[in-house]
Structure 1
Amino acid sequence: MDGSRTKIEAFSTYIWKVMVRAIDEGHPKCKMGWLVDGRTRMCEDSNTMSNYIGNVLSLAFGEASKVELETGGLTDIAKICHDAISKVTNRAHFLDLIECHRPGLMLSKVVLGRAGPALVVSSGRRFLVAELDFGFGSPARGTVCSAIQRIGVGYVNQRPSARGDGSWTVSAIIWPELAAALESDSDRVFQPMTADHLQL
């Protein structure tokens, strides 16, 4: 991949490339969605709302055919991810979103219609586990809970690991075939959680 892609776009590209192997022939297309925090995009100073998340979230989504994902290179798939995410990472998008959907709940096309497998990628990078203290020291691991699987959508969340070395801890609510594909992938991007990962 060229250097113009973000870490989350590269991560999503890998997941999508593996995901297509876990989809049966009855589904010619699949979707991927990304939760995008609008708070930093609403203010001129991006640090103004840096301690907040929620309320102003949008869901970018991309769709690709199974053939496109199977035959396309990582650069091609990364471009699909980048183009989809770029559509919602601007102030104008969030202003329109607030004006059009206030005060109701908005569901993105990624979860409506359910015309094929869909996976949402979210980031917990603002959930700074090492900075929390519940009175008995900092936790070694934090995770995010979601009920998104009830609407037939897989969910992957990544956040900084307790190691502090730039690695991530990833949790997922995914269908068994996708879990098996990720665990058996020859690139071995994911490792099972151990005490070493948690620095215990």
Structure 2
Amino acid sequence: MGVEAEDFSVKVIRTETVAPNQPWHDHWLPFTNLDLLVPPFDVGSVFCYKKSHESTDVTTMVDALKASLSQALTLFYPLAGEIVRNCAGEPEIHCNNKGVDFIVAAAEVKLHELNFHNPDVSFEGKMVPKRSHGVLAIQVTTLKCGGMVIACMFDHRVTDGYSANMFVSSWANMTRSQPPSFLPSFRRSVLNARHPTIYAPSTANMFLSLSNLPSLQTDKKCESNDLDQDFNISRMYYMEGDQLKRLQLLASENGCQSSKLESFTSFLWRITAKFMEDSGHVDHICNIAVAVDGRRRLSEGEGVEKENIMDAHFGNVLSIPFGRIQSKDLKDMPLSSVANKVHKFLKSAANKEHFLDLIDWVEDQRPKPLMSRPFAGTEKAVSIMVSSGQQFSIMDKMDFGWGKLVFGSCYVPMTRRDCYVMTMASPVKDDDWVVYMHLPRKHLNYVETHASHLFKPLTTAYLKL
């Protein structure tokens, strides 16, 4: 499958700061109301490439990446800034052109030797940079086989997955002397609240003000759970298309077909409840949340121009509807019944009015910091965030000029204590999925033991590396 962590070393050759080649005037860019819903998390992206068939040497390739990065940062200039607090205490971006850390390293390992099933072994502290300051850090690591790994670490408050994809694909295009794939928009007014604000009670129930948490957490009934959240690890799996179709069939009933994402989320939710019950956490709530992108929803009925503006919007345009059920009630529920509940809470957020309500609700809470209710730690619960990466279609977009991307994935630092799962398209089989999971070790071991027919360890053999 791969070598162990101690079997290869990574040497940092140099660390530089890359700034926009045409600096913008120093200014402050406020967060939108939807940005303000995102906690100060880091999230990474990893892109793997085989040895180039061209005769280009490594130094030339790295120099090309550095030069095009400077050009890309001219368009995506907030990534070269820093997050500061304004006079109201809210975070915003100081667009000061300080640049991003650009690390060049060499690893004593070949691409086919990397352990993709346990990415913490291959990437944590080795090929994925730590973001020490600023908004973005990038590391380019050359491999013994002539391959390369490009890894980015973003401050999630500035960019969601869609926006990160905008940046990296544009950077790749510019490295090939092609036009950027996107011209980003930072027009904050497109996400302004309505006056007067108006929102449904269900919207107000999705998030909590952090200022309310101390009193809640002092209640012994709301003590945090003992699931060893400090020891979350990451693992990657592939799911075969035939198994996904069977799962979808089990999750559908009465002629109403559940989507693959709804079916997967339902299965994950229920097996989490079984894990809770079997591990003795019988009095816990199981929360499952699914990230919903609002770009197309917010432009519904407003014409092509608004669609184009929202497609180009750089930042966070997400809602995270969720379901919550006691583990004892969930563990034996038919999968179709679970899927109905997932469909119901997703449907509540997959519309324009929901996002307008959410923007308005945040406006009435400012400047209080906010957090998604399931992840606020106010009850004995396990809470998992599910995100879908299928829509990004990165395999054909991340070509820097020396070959197509052979594998790409998100990466969550080990220091993050939240539970996160992302589904992605397989790079080798159209109907398969690759699934990234960041969960407690015991939880993952339980999934592997009880659902090995679905979650198969991601190997270099499967990836044809």
- Give TM class, smaller chain: 0.7 to 0.9
Per the normalisation by structure 1, the TM-score is 0.87
8 Å Cα contact 1:124-1:158 kept in structure 2: yes
* TM-superposition CA deviations, 1:127-158 (whole Å, max 9, x none): 322111123222222112346973x4311001
Rg comparison, structure with higher value: 2
Aligned partners of 2:354 and 2:438: how far apart in 1? 28
Report the secondary structure of 2:268's partner residue. Answer: helix
Aligned residue in 1 for 2:405 = 139
Q: 1:85 to 1:185 in 2, by over 3 A?
A: same
Q: CA–CA distance in 2 between the matches of 1:87 and 1:106?
A: 20
Name the CA distance, whole Å, in 2 between partners of 1:184 and 1:54.
Answer: 39
Secondary structure of the 1:64 match is strand
State the partner residue of 1:128: 393
Q: Pick closer, same or farther for the CA change 1:129–1:87 going to 2, 3 Å.
A: same
Q: Who is 2:372 aligned against? A: 108
Contact 1:117–1:153 under 8 Å retained in 2: no
Structure with higher strand content: 2
> d(CA) in 2 for partners of 1:95 and 1:59?
14
Return the TM-score normalized by structure 2: 0.40
Instruction: Tell me if structure 2 keeps the 8 A contact 1:33–1:119.
Output: yes
Offset, 1:89: 0.8
- 1:115-138 Cα offsets, whole Å, 9 max, x none, are 211111011123322111123222
Pair 1:147–1:64, CA change in 2 (3 A):
farther
What are the equivalent positions in structure 2 for 1:151-162 lying under 5 Å apart? Answer: 152-162=417-427
Following superposition, the deviation at residue 85 of structure 1 comes to 1.2
Cα separation, 2, equivalents of 1:11 and 1:52: 29
Output the CA distance in 2 between the equivalents of 1:197 and 1:50: 34
What is the percentage of aligned positions where both structures have the same residue? 28
Q: What code does the residue aligned with 1:96 have?
A: D
Q: Which runs of 5+ in 1 are unaligned?
A: none
Question: In the alignment, what sits opposite 2:333?
Answer: 72
Structure 1 contact 162–197 (Cα < 8 Å) conserved? no
Which residue does 1:55 correspond to in 2?
Answer: 316
Q: For this pair of structures, how many residues does the alignment match? A: 199
5 Å-filtered alignment, 1:75-86, equals 75-86=336-347
Residue pair 1:149, 1:155 contacting (<8 A) in 2 also: no
Which of 29, 34, 39 is matched with 2:295 structurally? 39
CA RMSD of aligned residues (A): 2.5
Distance 1:148 1:41 in 2: 33
Structure 2 counterpart of 1:80, which letter?
K
| In 2, Cα distance between equivalents of 1:162 and 1:79 | 30
Q: Secondary structure at the match of 1:172?
A: strand
Whole-angstrom distance in 2 between the partners of 1:198 and 1:138: 14
Q: Deviations over 1:61-96 (max 9, x none)?
A: 100111221121101111121111111111000011
